[in-house]
Structure 1
Amino acid sequence: MATTNSPLLTSATREAIDFWPMKAMEPMKGEWQQLHCRFINALPDGPWDDFILSEWELTSCGWEDFHPHTETNFVLEGELHIESEGKKVILGPGDSARVNPGQLGRYIAPVYARMVTVYGPNPEGLESHSFRYFEL
């Protein structure tokens, strides 16, 4: 079965079905043990014209970052609090919310949250920044 890890392929070079084998979620960094993540179809490095799909979970912690692209989170389990530009929402299983481009997003799981996340296109390859991990 063909696999591809890049959303930048043209339609002429794409397979009929893109397949990404399962990978275990791992801590984002060694010292961030309560934040686990796995990027499914591509890593968010350089430019991309398609979406990037990931799964992540927070356990009694929070994460903050600035993206030049959209970030949409769909909650699978638990409760996720999202804050951006003075607006706050609380999501439960089945809820979703998007932080729009050019905004700092803060994601907090008072107890636990597991999400599927979609990054929108980033054709210029602008970098995300202002990363901050914190435990509650």
Structure 2
Amino acid sequence: MTTTASTTQSPAPAPEGAIDFWPAKSMEPMTGEWQQLRCRFINSHPAAGAWDDFILSEWELEACAWEDFHPHTETNYVLEGELHIECEGQTVVLKPGDAARVNPGRTGRYSAPVYARMVTVYGPNPQGAESHSFRYFEI
């Protein structure tokens, strides 16, 4: 004989509503000098200080590389092209459908010899520690 226990729990209330929505935006060059590095932050912008949730963005590199130190995790999922990631002597090459994470407290270098388009997730940064050591290279 099998006995099944049943528990009834009330769902947790949504903080501001059942669904958060972010309308589409076009990707823009990171700066006027870095035309081959384009991005759009989707649900938040990391320049806003501390964040307790993830930050989602889409970005693309066209025959260029980007390097930065970040205090939070950064996970990249490749949608198109080929992305090379270097960190502390380790290199991975990602193709569409591949993903890789640079763990916090490290400098990552992301390059696309031809082109790459990615979706990126930044992990939480509750203390608001800043990214730094930004470097851009054209290939």
Under a length normalisation based on structure 2, what TM-score does the superposition of the two structures give?
0.89
- Please identify runs of 4+ aligned residues in structure 1 that moved more than 3 A: none
User: Offset at 1:14?
Assistant: 2.3
- Structure 2 Cα separation of the partners of residues 35 and 101 of structure 1: 22
**Structure 2 spans left out of the alignment, 5+ residues:** 1-12
Q: Counterparts in 2 of 1:5-84, with a 5 A limit?
A: 13-44=15-46, 45-84=48-87
- Which of residues 106, 109, 114 is equivalent to 1:106? 109
Query: Aligned pairs, how many?
Result: 126
Once the two structures are superposed, residues 61-103 of structure 1 have per-residue CA deviations (whole angstroms, 9 ceiling, x without a partner) of 0000000000000000000000001100000000000000000
Which segments of 5 or more consecutive residues in structure 1 lack a partner in the other structure?
1-10
Residue number in structure 2 paired with 1:121: 124
Give 2:53's aligned amino acid: D
Q: Partners in 1 of 2:132 and 2:63 — Cα distance?
A: 22
Cα separation, 1, equivalents of 2:123 and 2:77: 14
Q: Secondary structure at the match of 1:108?
A: strand
Measure the CA separation in 2 of the matches of 1:132 and 1:14: 38
TM-score, normalisation: structure 1: 0.91
Match for 1:29: what amino acid? T
Percent identity, aligned pairs only, is: 78
**Matching residue of 1:7:** none
- Give the C-alpha shift of residue 12 in structure 1: 5.6
Question: Matches of 1:103 and 1:128 in 2, distance apart?
Answer: 10
Q: Computing the radius of gyration over CA atoms, which structure comes out larger, 1 or 2?
A: 2
